[in-house]
Chains A and B, each alone.
Chain A
Amino acid sequence: DAKTTQPTSMDCAEGRAANLPCNHSTISGNEYVYWYRQIHSQGPQYIIHGLKNNETNEMASLIITEDRKSSTLILPHATLRDTAVYYCIVRVAHYGGSQGNLIFGKGTKLSVKP
């Protein structure tokens, strides 16, 4: 089972920031937080990952709370093309075997509206 809890759906106005929350209260010290998204009929797309520090790349920012029990993915200026299902996943930095496979939950369906 997935180790994360996310809201089922969210709406965001085009051009505004989209803030997607994720709870991972049972996260272990060696587990990373990964975010992926899946647009209809496409494979999952990697967005960002982090351990304990906040991270930023060209797609998004990841804010992880100090106790690491929750995180927020921020899309700073959402566009219609950001409409997708967003998945928050926790996983160890693995060194072989199926422990490295990703376990996707239900995710959050983000709808960006004009």
Chain B
Amino acid sequence: GAGVSQSPSNKVTEKGKDVELRCDPISGHTALYWYRQSLGQGLEFLIYFQGNSAPDKSGLPSDRFSAERTGGSVSTLTIQRTQQEDSAVYLCASSPGTGRQPQHFGDGTRLSIL
């Protein structure tokens, strides 16, 4: 079945470079979340999209982070001028909507900043 797909699965880049991470949610899911998970830590909420509403960006750690969701489907998370502390696994989740619907996660992008 088609779950949440994220690409690339691994990304290694030099400090100061920009990176773009992609998330393909489950077809028909209107809600999309980005989280990040640092080594041995819990999930940190980054940003939330729901349909055509303005995204909730309250979890973005700095203005170097941005995300967009085109056509209500695919989402990209962009990190500009990467820093070593940005190294983490970036996870995307989608759900059919709001209410009590569970979120379904992709396997993440493991980002390593050298």
**Chain A residues engaging chain B, CB cutoff 8 angstroms:** 2, 32, 34, 41-46, 49, 51, 93-98, 100-106
* Complex Cα spacing A95 to B94, Å: 15
With A101-B45, A104-B43 already in contact, the answer to whether A49 and B100 are too (CB < 8 A) is yes
Q: List chain A residues, Cβ under 8 A from B33.
A: 100-101
Among residues of A, the one whose C-beta sits closest to the C-beta of B103 is A102
**B50 to A96, Cβ gap below 8 A?**
yes
Q: Which 4 A-B pairs have the closest CB atoms?
A: A43-B105, A101-B45, A93-B100, A104-B42
Q: How far is the CA of A46 from the CA of B48 in the complex (A)?
A: 18
* B98 contacts A95, C-beta separation under 8 Å: yes
**Within the complex, what minimum Cβ distance (angstroms) separates B112 from chain A?**
14
Chain A residues whose CB sits within 8 angstroms of the CB of B4 once the complex forms:
43
Q: Check B45–A105 contact: CB distance below 8 A.
A: no
User: Can you list 6 A-B pairs with a CB-CB distance of less than 8 A?
Assistant: A41-B107, A46-B105, A96-B53, A101-B33, A101-B59, A103-B43
Additional pairs, 11, CB under 8 Å, beyond known A41-B107, A97-B48, A97-B56? A32-B100, A34-B102, A44-B43, A44-B105, A46-B104, A93-B98, A95-B99, A97-B58, A98-B56, A101-B45, A102-B43
Interface residues of B (CB under 8 A from A): 4, 31, 33, 35, 42-43, 45, 48, 50, 53, 56, 58-59, 91, 93, 98-100, 102-108
With A44-B105, A101-B59, A103-B42 in contact, do A96 and B35 touch (Cβ < 8 Å)?
no
On whether the beta carbons of B58 and A93 are closer than 8 Å, the reply is no
Least CB distance from A43 to B in Å reads 4
A46 touches B103 (CB 8 A): yes
The smallest beta-carbon distance between B88 and chain A, in angstroms, is 13
Minimal Cβ-Cβ distance residue in B for A107: B42
CA A104 to CA B91, docked complex, whole Å:
13
Residue of A nearest to B40 (CB): A106
Contact call B56/A43, Cβ cutoff below 8 A? no
The residue that A45 contacts in the complex, of B35, B43, B45, B105, with Cβ under 8 A, is B105
Query: Which residues of chain B are within 8 angstroms of A104 by Cβ–Cβ distance?
Result: 42-43
